[in-house]
Structures are given as C-alpha cells and as structure tokens.
Amino acid sequence: MWPLVRTAVLAAAVLAAALAVASCAVYHPLPLATGPRLAERLSDLAVEIPATGAMAVSAPAAAAPYGGTIVAGSERGAPRRIDVSRPLTLEDIGWLALLNDPDLAAQRGELSAAQADLLQASLLPNPSASLSYGVFLGGPGATPGWTASLSEDITALVTYHARVQAARAAAAQVNAQLLWDEWQVAQKARLAALDLYWDEQSIGAAAREREVLSEEIRAVDRAISAGNLDSSALAPLAAALATLDQSVATLRLTELTTWQTLDGLLGLAPQVRFCIAPPQLAPLPPDLEPLVASLPQRRPDLIALQLGYRSADGSVRAAILGQFPALVLGGAWTQDTTNVRSAGPTATFDLPIFNHNQGQIAQARATRLTLHEQYQARLDAAAAEVRGLEAEARRLAADIAQAREAASTAESLERQARAAYAQGNLDQRSLADYQTAALEREIELQSLERSRGEVVITLTVSLALGLPDTLTIPPERTASSIRTMP
C-alpha cells in the first residue's frame, strides 16, 4: 500500500509542477518608439468621441463606507465625430486634448499598475509542501525513511478581505485621479484656445489703432511741412506708436507661446495652426449652492480622496487583524527506517511577546488621519474656489455691461466725428482722437470678455459640469478596455 502512496505523492508533485509551468506568464517585448509621434495635421488626430454622459461619477456612499455607490449625472450622450475641417469650438478643442494629449496617454499606465496591485492583493498565498527522503544505509532499520508535509498560512486568510478592500479602493482612487487629470488637461486646452481667440482679436484691434496713428502722423508731417505746426507735435504721436508696436510684439510672442502649448496638449507638431470659433460660454446656473453641496459626489479629485481614505481605513482594519499571531497549519506524513508510519497535524505560530503589530497599526492610523484632514482641506478649498469664481464672474459680467455701453457710446461718437470730418467741421487730429478712443474701448471690452471666459471655464471644471464621466482612452491606444470606478 505504501508504495502506492509514494507513487501517488510523486505523481501529484509532477502534476503540480506541470500546472505551475503551464500557468506561467510568457515574455513579450515592448519596444520603444524610434521617433516622435506628433501629428502634422488635425486630420491625423483621434476625433471619435465615445458615448458618455455630461457628468456621472461614482463616489463611495457616505452611509456605506465599505460598499455601495452614489451616482450623480445626466443621460449618456451618443458618440460623435469632431469635424476638424471647420473652425473648432472650445468644447471640441477640450475633447481633442482628452483624446490625444501625450501626457495623459503616459499617465494611464498608472491605472494598469493599480489594477496589478489589486490582482496581487486578491491572490491567496500558495500552500507550502515539503518532501524529504532518506536512503537506508545501515543499522537496525530495514526501509528508507521519508517525510511529506503540506501547510497553509492562516494569517493571510484572516486579513484577506480587508487587504482586498483596501487595494480595490486604491485602484479606484487612481482611476478617479486620472479622470481629474483629464479634466485639467481639457481645461488647459480650452483656456489656451480662448486666449488665442482673444489674442487674435486684440492684435486686429491694435493693427487698426496703428493705422489711425500712422494716418495722424502723416497728417502732422504734412502740417509741419506746410509750416502750420511745430515739430514738437509729432513727439507724442511717435511715442504712442512705439508703445503700440511694443504691445503688438508682446501679444504676438504670447500668441506664439500659447499656440505651442495648445499644440502640445493636442499632440500636434508646434507649427500646426487652425481656426478657432468665437467662444460660446454656457450661462451660469442661477443657484450654485446645490452644486456646491453635491461636489463630494461629483468632483473626481474629491472622490479620489474619499477612495484614498477608504483604502487607508481598510489598511487600518488589516493591521488590526494582523495582531493575530502568525499561524501556519498543515499536516505531515512520515515513515522512519524501522517502517513505522505516522501522520498528524502541524502548527507553527509566533508568540506575541514583543511585537503585537503595533507599528503597522500606528502607521496605518497616521496615514488615515492624514487623508482625513487632506480631504476636509480639499473640500473647503473647492467650496471657497467656487464661491470666489462665482463672485468674479458676476463682477466681470457687470463690468462687461458697462464696458459694452461705453464702447457703444465711443463707436457712436466716432461715427459722428467721421461725418463731421467729411463735412469739413472737424480736423484730422480730433477725428483720430475719437477713433483711438473707440478702439481702446473695444480692446478694454475684449480684455474683460477674455477674463470672464477664463473664469467661466475654470468655474465649470470646479463645479464638475459638462465633462466626460469616464476615462477617455482611444481604442487604438490601449490593448484592453479599462473600466471606470467601481
């Protein structure tokens, strides 16, 4: 009988080895790129927007810190394609950045790492097997001796659930943080596009102002040549022209830098240019307080901190359960050289005299406390930011109304001055003053419109409105689909 047992043990060992080899991972090379992957044309970019809701993010339920979700959002929209042959809106540019930004593509590797950590945490430790065989050489015995044992780490089973819950929350935290990073990239792209549009408008207004100044300088030159004016009348006009040229040069340099930033966000070569449609900003909600109150369920950065706290809380539970002494249980089967056979259970455990896992518990609790305070600080900052931006937006709206009225008045006076000049009732210098005043009012209005646009875009992101609810990963850039937060 015992030869049969030994044969069975050997066969089991061979089978276990074969299964272990069969389940091993296989190496596949992943070569680096041999050159840059910058697109030379807009048509080379990924332009397919996947189906997504305007805003629907899952957050940990406050009433169920270890299970359940709260979902806030709207109906999911159908997929669409961005038409890059037409002037691009700010929304389209934000989407193109989400689909094509090189840094986002690199950061998404963090999600794969988090999923790998979750997989590692969900794996149970392998049982330990031991085999020994002693050849009989001499003495009172008559047969070879052998020992076989099989054991399992019980402590890992005790802490398994807490460890998996912590790892699952940590993976979801990475997902939420990456979604927030996507929103930041979309915001940067839209702000850059907004600045480029108004830079172009400002350069155009400055060019018209330069034409007015140049015409005035030519008129003064003619008057000086005719002896009707002193040459000192030319100095302030020349100084104003030099100042204007310097402002235009600064604007053009800023525009170039902004174009390079936007091209980088879209994955384009730095020399690519395209048309930007006039900004269309959505009106602000009349009452922001309900949106502020629901920020913890809708803003990915706050959700990421909640999930981080949830992971830290799971680590505290795992550390407390780790006070259970290290215990390994199993069984052993032996045969000595006198052919005496025995079998029975085995147990190996630590004596908790010096180490009660108090160090791990203290570290886990300190980490949880840090995340607790960080979440409160971020929540307070988010609410303060929203209210501050709302105040700025309303102040700018009032200033824009005044500036628009002043620009309309200046434009009306300019038209009257042109009519008077055509009838010979106004000189060239006075006409130029009216024209310059109207252009300056226009530039002032453009500056306020730009500032309001920047505030509204930032406020929209701060309120978690109008942006995708899941990670936007082009199918051709990922080997497998990656789910959003559980």
Specify the higher pLDDT residue, 234 or 373: 373
How far apart are the C-alpha atoms of 155 and 124, rounded to whole Å? 11
Least confident interval from 196-200, 336-340, 474-478: 474-478
Q: Please report which confidence band the pLDDT of residue 57 belongs to, taking 50, 70 and 90 as the band edges.
A: very low
The yes-or-no verdict on residue 413 having pLDDT over 50 is: yes
Mean pLDDT of the residues in the chain? 81
C-beta neighbour count of 316 within 10 angstroms: 20
How far apart are the C-alpha atoms of 457 and 97, rounded to whole Å? 15
The yes-or-no verdict on residue 212 having pLDDT over 50 is: yes
Specify the higher pLDDT residue, 69 or 456: 456
Residues 6+ away with beta carbon under 8 Å from 172: 307, 485, 486
Domain residue ranges of the chain, discontinuous segments joined by + = 39-123+159-322+357-471, 129-158+325-356
How far apart are the C-alpha atoms of 82 and 46, rounded to whole Å? 9
The yes-or-no verdict on residue 244 having pLDDT over 60 is: yes
| DSSP result, 137-169 | -SSS--S-EEEEEEEEEHHHHHTHHHHHHHHHH
pLDDT at 1: 47
How far apart are the C-alpha atoms of 352 and 340, rounded to whole Å? 36
pLDDT at 260: 95
Q: Of 362, 372, 285, which is closest to residue 322 (Cα–Cα)?
A: 362
Answer positive or negative: Cα dihedral of 456, 201, 399, 242: positive
Average pLDDT over residues 252-261: 94
pLDDT at 486: 33
Residues 6+ away with beta carbon under 8 Å from 346: 149, 151, 328, 329, 330, 331, 332
In the chain, % of residues over pLDDT 70: 86
Average pLDDT over residues 12-18: 61
How far apart are the C-alpha atoms of 203 and 252, rounded to whole Å? 8
pLDDT at 8: 56
Contact of 324 with 158, CB cutoff 8 Å: yes
The CATH number fitting domain 39-123+159-322+357-471, selected from 1.20.1600.10, 1.10.10.10, 2.40.50.140, 3.40.50.300: 1.20.1600.10
